[in-house]
Chains A and B, each alone.
Chain A
Amino acid sequence: AQSVSQHNHHVILSEAASLELGCNYSYGGTVNLFWYVQYPGQHLQLLLKYFSGDPLVKGIKGFEAEFIKSKFSFNLRKPSVQWSDTAEYFCAVIPYNTDKLIFGTGTRLQVFP
């Protein structure tokens, strides 16, 4: 079955530390890739997305992600995190020619000042 794996369930960082959250998917065909974020008490919102072209995509708030097709990965990065980045982060894919988002289990990020 198609699935999305997020290896880090809970990450704790100090402000200014660098962040990398892993995401791997199991689908051999073309996919569109997404990272969603859910801040405490807020809705899920889109952080960034990849459809085609440059495999390094930039999103809001200084986040970026790199699509590595050979590794079926779409890891999220940020060079220097802030306390306000404390949230839950979800990686998701839409396999080509389907309509459904397939989410990973999420990574809870806590940033301490």
Chain B
Amino acid sequence: GAGVSQSPRYKVAKRGQDVALRCDPISGHVSLFWYQQALGQGPEFLTYFQNEAQLDKSGLPSDRFFAERPEGSVSTLKIQRTQQEDSAVYLCASSSTGRALSYEQYFGPGTRLTVT
């Protein structure tokens, strides 16, 4: 079946613009995660949803970052007033159970955001 998809794959934004990144998880997956991967680093956790509930947003770096999953499937990560330090690859992952503790997270291809 189809894997996790993300759009757009590449996004160039001028500093101060707002951007919206979309994630389509694997159909039926309960859990959805967003990660940020800076150049030369490993992915860093941003936020986690179980169905439509955002259970953990401790990794969001500032109040300019906002994520939602209103119907428990597609999710959008929004970044307001983008800054150069927001340049990174944003990864989405989904998993099939309510707790990610013991189950595999399936990753999408990521959206590469470049802020100029």
Where the two chains meet, the residues of A that have a C-beta atom closer than 8 Å to any C-beta of B are 4, 32, 36, 43-46, 49, 51, 90, 92, 94, 96-106
A-B contact count (CB 8 A): 62
Q: Which residues of B contact A (CB under 8 A)?
A: 3-4, 31, 33, 35, 40-45, 48, 55-56, 58-59, 91, 93, 99-102, 104-105, 107-110
Of B35, B101, B108, B110, the contact of A99 (CB 8 Å cutoff) = B101
| Structural contact, B44 and A103, CB atoms closer than 8 A | yes
Q: Say yes or no: A99 contacts B41, CB within 8 Å.
A: no
Known: A43-B108, A99-B31, A100-B56. A32 touches B101 (CB 8 A): yes
Q: Is the CB of A96 within 8 A of B45?
A: no
A44–B6 CA distance with the chains assembled, in angstroms: 13
